[in-house]
Amino acid sequence: MRTITVTGGNLFQVAAQQLGDATQWIRIAQANGLSDPMLAGLVSLRLPATDPSAGGGIAAQ
């Protein structure tokens, strides 16, 4: 797992840029204990490994 630092934005953008799929934002949220995809200020995020079979953007119930 690698770490990046971003200034604001949202997890959709981060997932699209870093994982190649905006719907994988939920994996980033889960890896960082976040529930809100909107980011404010300077944030360090742990990124899960790229997984083309993951996605959907819906948390498991």
* DSSP-assigned states of every residue in 15-36: HHHHHS-GGGHHHHHHHTT---
Q: Token pair of 36, please? A: 């809100």
Instruction: Report pLDDT for 51.
Output: 82
Instruction: Report pLDDT for 18.
Output: 96
Query: At CA 24, angle to CA 20 and CA 29, rounded to 5?
Result: 125
pTM: 0.85
d(CA 59, CA 17): 20
Instruction: Report pLDDT for 57.
Output: 60
pLDDT tens for 1-37 read 899 999 999 999 999 999 999 999 999 999 999 999 9
Instruction: Report pLDDT for 1.
Output: 87
First to last CA, the chain: 24
Radius of gyration of the chain (CA): 10
